[in-house]
Every structure is written in structure tokens, then in C-alpha cells.
Amino acid sequence: MSIEYERDALQREVLPSGQEGRPAHARSFVSELRGSIAVQFLSLRARVVGLLTLIGAVLVAMSGIYVFIMFNQNLAREAELRAGAAGEVLAYAVRRADSLNEMEPILSAIGNAPYIAEAAIAGSDGRIVASSHPSWRGKSIAAIAAAYPDMRTIAPRPISIEQQTQLAGGNVRGGDYAVWLDLVDDGARAVAIIRIDTDRVAARLMGQAWNTMTWLAMTAILAILTVSMLIHRILVAPIEALRDYAQDQQQDEAAKPEQGDEIGVVSRALTASIQARRDGETQLALLASTDGLTGLGNRGFFKAALAEAISGAERHGGYVGVMILNLGGFKSINDTLGHDSGDLVLQRTADILKGCRREGDVVARIGGDEFGIVLRNVRGADEALELASRFVRAVGTPFRLGVQELQQASCVGMTLFPQDGRDADVLIKNADLALSRAQQEGAGACVLYRHELHLRAIERNQIERDLRSVVARQELKLYYQPKVDVATGQVTGAEALIRWHHEERGFIPPSVFIPVAERCGIIVELTKWVLAEACRQNRAWQDAGLLRIAVAVNVSAIDLRRADLTDTIANTLIAHGLSPQYLELEVTESMVMQDVDTVIGTLRRLRSLGIGIGIDDFGTGYSSLAYLKRFPVKRLKIDRSFINDIADRRDGHVIPKVIIDLAHALGVSVVAEGVESADQFDMLRELGCDEVQGYFLGRPMPAAEFEIFLRNSPAGGLCPPAVAGSAA
Ligand code: C2E
Ligand code: CA
Ligand code: CA
């Protein structure tokens, strides 16, 4: 195959006539070719070599020009020098000679001297008298000049020996000189003609010039090589190393920059690394403001979002709502169902809150079981409260966690900008205050911070002060609320509920002062008083011949954790002569779920004394069934919140039913508290509940009133609930 054919084939393949018809692989070949040519010319090394070669070439050319100029100047000077030396010899000899004819041997000696071609002397008549060239003799200078065109201008004017003139007049190769010689004896003038052998002079000079040229070129090449080595070491190699490193760093093959563009590669890698650092910083900032579990913002983020919303509202007007939502009983979820379940509950809550928020609202997780919500552009307190209860309702919808059906209670504390504070910290603090108020009010409460809340905090301190002497001041009373057997309508027991009639403030509800008493430890003294009073009263009723019932006393978590609780109770029973079967203790579900082993020990000791144990508020504390089996429990008290909608909601009976069945399976009896209507009562009877307690059957009442209630209640036989209700 001929080369021509090959090239044609290549061209047809590589460069078909139509651009559109150009096959893809051909296009890629062309671009590769172009790329590789570009690499050749673009690579840093090539650019440096190119530049230095150019400099080298310029240097060599300049030295060539220099040598050429020097050669020409030297040629003229050399010829002049030689001619001058010969002229001097001739002038000297002419002055000594008697006649010009005597000059013959001197002229032939000069003619043989190196670099001199001919030497001759002409008399004043212009005819050659003596010459190194025999044929010149007798000829006129003009004839010789005609034979040697170079010698065309034999100067007609006198030229002193000092002013030798090149006869050829500016001719580069000129080597013919005429010298006027003043003859001493006759005062006449002779002319000496000296022809320099310029070819030989030029050859000698040429040799010298070549040497100089070679030295100059070699020096230039050496200098360039040294410089290029230095540049390679100092610049190219490090930049290439940087480029290789940068390319190695560039993981993404497609993003690899064009080859041969080292500075580009390095600068892109630098840009990429700066970008990566910036991204990293952004990522870090994001991480620092994000809650890892729920993906929501954290407390810091919440504060920042609130501050931003505040400055927006300052500029454009409007209210900003700050909401803190707390999950009820979250600790017991963690304790009883495990932390994984706790995490799931938190994630579910986060999802629900995100789903419920309006556009522009910010949801964050600001504490273990606390979520913060910034409500932008609320129209006022009513709308804020409405939004809060929407969140609480959404969180409270029943859901499944493994095999368990759960309902997550929550409550909300809220503040409004600008009326409750003008700065993020103050607003959050006030929302926290409102939240603690909401927690006192119980599950589902949404409390808007008002200035009074602040007063309440002050009030709390006063309550604490007054509580310290409350027992001595005899301001406490016990009320009794009946528990009634569902099947028989008979009073089976009473719950002792503490009442405080403050001499100045009037009635203070236990939900207000019990938490204060718990916090400052006075609760221990209060419980002792309640136990003594309940035992004394019960014994008194028994002594009066009334139906023997058990009185239930509420004990707090702090009481339950005290080692001397059993002794205190035993001593109280002995002191008042009451048999242990007539005393019951109510402990809440969440209480027994903390520190389970200690609590089980205490409860077992109490049970072995013969005292009944009831679990209060059951269903809100996520008890584990495994634990429930280990508790020496006599009763479960279904929490009021389940009874509330037992008859209203279609599925309201589901949880009470599960609790009742579960309790019966464990051999434990069930009380429903907070029964307020006949419908609720009927439903509970249907579900197989054992006992009921609530306003429908009887409100909490002072001892004297309860005594009458007890006397009137059937001490046997069936009594319809309505009768018991009307008696209340
Ligand atoms: P608790 O143990 O769950 O007591 C039941 C509460 O429900 C009582 O509130 C009672 O008055 C109220 N109640 C009863 N039937 C109904 C009803 O049909 N509807 C409604 N809405 N409420 C009903 P009270 O007396 O205000 O007590 C509140 C809480 O204070 C008690 O809740 C208990 O936790 C605590 N407490 C009361 N007395 C004592 C005490 O002597 N010692 C301790 N440690 N805590 C006490
Ligand atoms: Ca109770
Ligand atoms: Ca209760």
C-alpha cells in the first residue's frame, strides 16, 4: 500500500468533507491529535525550552552579526596596517637610496612578505621604476590601474605617509595603497604602490572569526543550558510535581483538566481545595447547628432563627410566636422501652412538627425532649394558642411502636414578640416559664406566657416559705373521694386528697403546692401528716361502726425512695391501731418506672406488711409488662385522660380495654378515675372494670361529709350508679 494511499485513507477516515457526516471516532481522533499537539506546545517544559531556544538562537545570530562586522572592520584595518608598515619601509629605503633603481631588491623582499601581493615605485613621471612584479616595470600607473580595476583611483592629490588612503575608495575588499614619497635629492615626488593580498588577510581573519564565533556560540549554548537547568530545577520540576499531585487529588476522571496546562491544573486544584475547605466549613457550621438524630436545627440554630424573625418583625411589624413543646413522660419511654424507642419517638415528633408547621415557621430540637418552634407572622395570642394546640393534637395521635400502641402526650409553653420580650434570650426564658406552668397543668396544656407567670414564680417562693410551717399552722385538711364497686355500687374505699386553705390566699390546689413541696423536701413531712391523718380518720370511722373501707394515700417519688418509708407507715398504723389491710398507697406509674429495683424492694416490703399498692395514672408512663408482673400490685388506676373520651370517641375504649384485660390477666383489679358521666360508667361496666372513682359517683369531700356519704351508701346489695351519683 502506497504512502499516498495511506494518507488518503486516513484523510477520508479522519477528515471527511462534511462536518455533520464526520464520524464520532474520527472527531475524537482529531481532537486527540489537536490535544496532543497542544500538549506539545502548551506544556510548561515545552514553553520554557522554546523560549530558551529562541533566546539562544538570537544570541547566536547576534554573535554572528558581531563577528561579521568585526571581520570587515579588521580586514580594512589589517590591510591598512600592512600597507602602512610596507610604506614606512619603502619611505625609509627611498631616503637612503641614491636612485630609485636601487629599490628593486627591497621591493621584491616586500612583495614576498606575507599578505603583500605586489610593491612598486613610480617616478614623478608616473612610470614604474622598480617593482616586485617584473612585468610592471616601465608601465605607467594608469596602465596598471586599468589592468587592476580595483586600483581605479590612484589619488591625484598628495597623500602623506601618515594619511594612507585606501586607493580602492571604500571597497570592502580593497587592498591597494599608494604612498607619496618625497625624494630627498631632487625634491621630486615618487609614488609607491603596495598591493595587499586581501584574500590571505581575509582567510586569516576568517579563521579568527570562526574561532570567536565558535566560542561565543558555545558560551551562549552553555549559558542557556545552565539557565534552562536552573529554570527546570527551580520552576518546572516543582510546578510539574504540583500538577501531578493536583491531578492525583482530582478523583473525578471527567473533571480532570486538560493536560499540558500545569498552572491551570494547579490553580484549579487550589480553587478546588479552597472550595472544599469552604464547603467543609459550611458543612461544619451546618453540623454544629443540626441535631443529629432528627435532622432539625438545634438550640443554637433555634436562637439564631428567632433572632432573625425578631429583626424581620421589627422592620415589618407583626408578632413572632415562640413555642416550646415538651414531650410528656419521655424519660420513662427511654427507661422502659429503651433508647432506640425513645429515638423513634423523637424522630416521629420531629416529622409531625415539620409536617404541621406553616411556611416560614422554624422547628428545632432544643433539648432532650423539647422542641422549639418559631411562628412567624402570627396575628396575636389567639392564633398562637390555636397553632400550639394543633401541634399538641398532632403529636398526640395514637401510633404504633413495635407491638405497642402509644399516645404521646405533650404540652406547650409560649411567648409572643414584642409583648413578652424583645430579645431572643428573654423570649425563650419566658417560654420556658410558660412551659413549666403548662407541665403543672398536665398533658395537652398550652400556656401563653403572661406577666403573671413571672409573678407565679415569685408566688412559688412564697408558697415554699409558707409550706414550711403549714403543718404547725393547721391549715391542711384531708378530703376523701369514694371508690365504688361497679357491680354492686358499694363503696369499697376512699382516696385521701390533701387540701390547703391558706389563711390569706384561700384554697391552694395540690397541683400547685405538691410540686413545690417535692422540690424543697417538705413533701416528706406532708406525707407523714397525710398518713397519720388518714389512719386516724379511718380508725375513727371504724370505731363509729361504719363500713370498713380502705383509705388510699398518695405518696410521692421522694417518699418512695426513702429507706424509712416502711418504718414510718408501720409506726403510723400501730400508733392509730389500724389494720394494714385498710391502708392503700397510690404511686404513679412514672414513679415506679424510675429506679425499678429499689422501688420493687420497697413495694414488696410494704406489701408483706399487708398494705395494698395501687398504680396511679396508669397508661401514661409506658410501663413495661415485664416489670408490671414483678410489682406486688393490688390495683391499676386507669388515668383520667383515657376515661375522658372513653364514651365519646369511636376508638376511645381501646386503651382502657387493653389495660383492663391486661390487669385481669395478671390478677390485678382495675379502678377507673375521673368518671364524670353515666355513659362513661356504662362503658366501663361493659369493659369489665372493677371499681370507679369520679365526680359522677362522688366528689372529694371533707371527712364529716364523707361520713354521711358512707352511711347512706348501701352496705351490701345492689345499688344503681345513678343513686350513688346523686348522693355525691
Ligand atoms: P391524683 O392522685 O390523680 O388525684 C385525683 C385527682 O383527680 C384529684 O385532684 C381529684 O380531685 C381529681 N378528680 C377526681 N374525680 C374527678 C373527676 O371526675 N373529674 C376531674 N376532672 N377530676 C377528678 P386533686 O385533689 O386536685 O389532686 C391532684 C393531684 O395532687 C393528685 O392527683 C395527686 O397527684 C396530688 N395529691 C393530692 N393529694 C395528695 C397527697 O396527699 N399527697 C401527694 N403526694 N399527692 C397528692
Ligand atoms: Ca391518686
Ligand atoms: Ca390519678
Looking at the structure, tell me whether residues 522 and 661 fall in a common domain: yes
Specify the range with the lowest mean pLDDT, choosing from 294-298, 468-472, 619-623: 619-623
Q: Which of 87-96, 164-173, 297-306 has the highest mean pLDDT?
A: 297-306
Under the banding of pLDDT at 50, 70 and 90, the label for residue 716 is very low
Residue 316, pLDDT score: 87
Residue 629, pLDDT score: 79
Looking at the structure, tell me whether residues 189 and 309 fall in a common domain: no
CA distance 480 to 699: 8
**Which segments of 404-490 are extended strands (E)?**
404-406, 410-417, 446-448, 476-485
Residue 621, pLDDT score: 64
Q: Phi-psi bin for 622: left (phi > 0), alpha (psi -120 to 50), beta?
A: left
Model confidence over 49-78: pLDDT tens digits?
Answer: 888 889 888 988 888 898 888 888 888 788
Under the banding of pLDDT at 50, 70 and 90, the label for residue 157 is very low
Q: Is residue 277 part of a domain?
A: no
Region 357-383: mean pLDDT is 92
Of all residues in the chain, the percent with pLDDT exceeding 70 is 83
- Does 371 have pLDDT greater than 60? yes
Q: Is residue 473 part of a domain?
A: no
Average pLDDT of the chain is: 82
In this structure, what CATH number is given to the domain that contains residue 183?
Answer: 3.30.450.20
Looking at the structure, tell me whether residues 101 and 170 fall in a common domain: yes
DSSP 604-643: HHHHHHT-EEEEEEETSS---HHHHHHS--SEEEE-HHHH
Under the banding of pLDDT at 50, 70 and 90, the label for residue 6 is very low
Model confidence over 560-573: pLDDT tens digits?
Answer: 989 899 999 999 99
Residue 725, pLDDT score: 37
* Dihedrals phi, psi of 168, to nearest 5 degrees: -70, -5
Whether residue 616 has its Cβ less than 6 Å from ligand 1: yes
Looking at the structure, tell me whether residues 38 and 87 fall in a common domain: no
Region 21-41: mean pLDDT is 59
Specify the range with the lowest mean pLDDT, choosing from 63-67, 154-158, 593-597: 154-158
Specify the range with the lowest mean pLDDT, choosing from 124-138, 250-264, 289-303, 610-624: 250-264
In this structure, what CATH number is given to the domain that contains residue 573?
Answer: 3.20.20.450
Under the banding of pLDDT at 50, 70 and 90, the label for residue 112 is confident
Q: Is residue 603 part of a domain?
A: yes
Residue nearest to atom 15 of ligand 1 (CA): 694
- Does 466 have pLDDT greater than 80? yes
- Does 528 have pLDDT greater than 80? yes
Q: Is residue 476 part of a domain?
A: no
Ligand 1 centroid distance, CA of 497 (Å): 6
Residues 6+ apart with CB under 8 A from 652: 642, 645, 646
Q: Is residue 457 part of a domain?
A: no
Residue nearest to atom 37 of ligand 1 (CA): 497
Q: Is residue 594 part of a domain?
A: yes
Task: Among 475, 495, 554, say which to mutate for ligand 1: greatest number of ligand atoms within 8 Å of CB.
Answer: 554
Under the banding of pLDDT at 50, 70 and 90, the label for residue 165 is very low
- Does 28 have pLDDT greater than 80? no
Neighbours of 60 (CB within 10 A): 17
Looking at the structure, tell me whether residues 441 and 508 fall in a common domain: no
What ligand has the least distance to the C-alpha of 639? Answer: 3
Of all residues in the chain, the percent with pLDDT exceeding 90 is 35
Region 257-262: mean pLDDT is 62
Model confidence over 599-648: pLDDT tens digits?
Answer: 889 999 999 999 999 999 888 765 666 677 788 899 999 998 889 889 87
Whether residue 175 has its Cβ less than 6 Å from ligand 1: no
Under the banding of pLDDT at 50, 70 and 90, the label for residue 128 is confident
- Amino acid identity for residue 97 in this structure: A
More confident residue, 25 or 507: 507
Looking at the structure, tell me whether residues 411 and 513 fall in a common domain: no
- Does 37 have pLDDT greater than 70? no
The structural domain count of the chain equals 4
Range of the domain at 12: 2-42
Cβ–Cβ under 8 Å, residues 363 and 372: yes
Ligand 3 centroid distance, CA of 586 (Å): 9
- Amino acid identity for residue 569 in this structure: I
More confident residue, 278 or 324: 324
Model confidence over 449-460: pLDDT tens digits?
Answer: 875 566 667 777
Q: Is residue 77 part of a domain?
A: no
Looking at the structure, tell me whether residues 560 and 697 fall in a common domain: yes
The C-alpha torsion from 454 through 455 and 456 to 461, rounded to 10°, is: 110
Last-in-domain residue among 155, 186, 201:
201
* pTM greater than 0.95: no
478 Cα nearest atom in ligand 1: 41
